[in-house]
Amino acid sequence: MTLDYTKIDRKYHLYDRQMDDKNKSFVYGEVDFLPFVTLLKDNIQFYPGDTFIDIGSGCGKFVSGMATQQYFKDMYFYGIEIHNVRYNQSLILQDELDIHANTEFMKQDFRDTYFGNYNILYCCNTIFGEEENNRLFSKIEKEFTGYFMLFEYDKQLQPYLINTINVHTSWNKNVPVYIFRK
């Protein structure tokens, strides 16, 4: 099954009037999925049974897109999202694509997620403030083993950096993503 991104964009993008009252983050952006997946395939060795988590999975497009690719058919994909409306949209997308066998979406804060259950971690952490990023970096340092991709990092993660790639996003055409292995 292929993902119709045009349909998804119209249906699941930007919810300005429906934001959660408790959520301070009103910014929503996306990475162009297919070029990014090609870059990942060139930089990361994927294996059957790998567990991929998208922290801040939004409406679930990235996780769902990966889960529908034949190349990743033997992997498991997880998305965590703190925003109610986006989380609910990810469940709708999961139903529409019938990808329950290899995807799970969770409504929770990344600080309450144990990273040791996954071996590939992705987070578009540009929206995080300094405190949230420091918590993210600390959790990766303490709990995670495997490949991880971030849009921002600090010196404590520098020893794990293996490559930098540039991707096209909804907010800029040339954004660096840092690939690490721990």
The enclosing domain of 58 has a CATH number of: 3.40.50.150
Across 28-32, 84-88, 92-96, which has the greatest mean pLDDT? Answer: 92-96
**Domain span including residue 173:** 27-181
Residue 89 lies in a domain: yes
Q: 65, 33 in Cβ contact below 8 A?
A: yes
Q: Is the pLDDT of residue 168 over 50?
A: yes
- Can you read off the two tokens belonging to residue 96? 């529409």
Q: What are phi and psi of 30, to 5 degrees?
A: -135, 155
First to last CA, the chain: 33
- Can you read off the two tokens belonging to residue 14? 């930007």
Residue 22 lies in a domain: no
Q: Is the pLDDT of residue 7 over 70?
A: no
Residue 21 lies in a domain: no
Residue 11 lies in a domain: no
Separation CA 55–CA 125 (nearest Å): 8
pLDDT at 78: 98
Residue 17 lies in a domain: no
**Domain count for the chain:** 1
pLDDT one-digit tens code per residue, 33-75: 777 788 788 888 899 999 999 999 999 999 999 999 989 999 9
Residue 156 lies in a domain: yes
Residue 129 lies in a domain: yes
Residue 72 lies in a domain: yes
- Can you read off the two tokens belonging to residue 148? 């991880």
Separation CA 110–CA 7 (nearest Å): 29
pLDDT one-digit tens code per residue, 106-119: 999 999 999 999 99
Separation CA 24–CA 40 (nearest Å): 31
Q: 145, 119 in Cβ contact below 8 A?
A: yes
DSSP state of 101: T
DSSP state of 117: G
DSSP-H helix ranges across 23-151: 33-43, 61-67, 84-97, 130-143
Q: How confident is the model at residue 175 (pLDDT cuts 50, 70, 90)?
A: confident
Q: How confident is the model at residue 155 (pLDDT cuts 50, 70, 90)?
A: very high
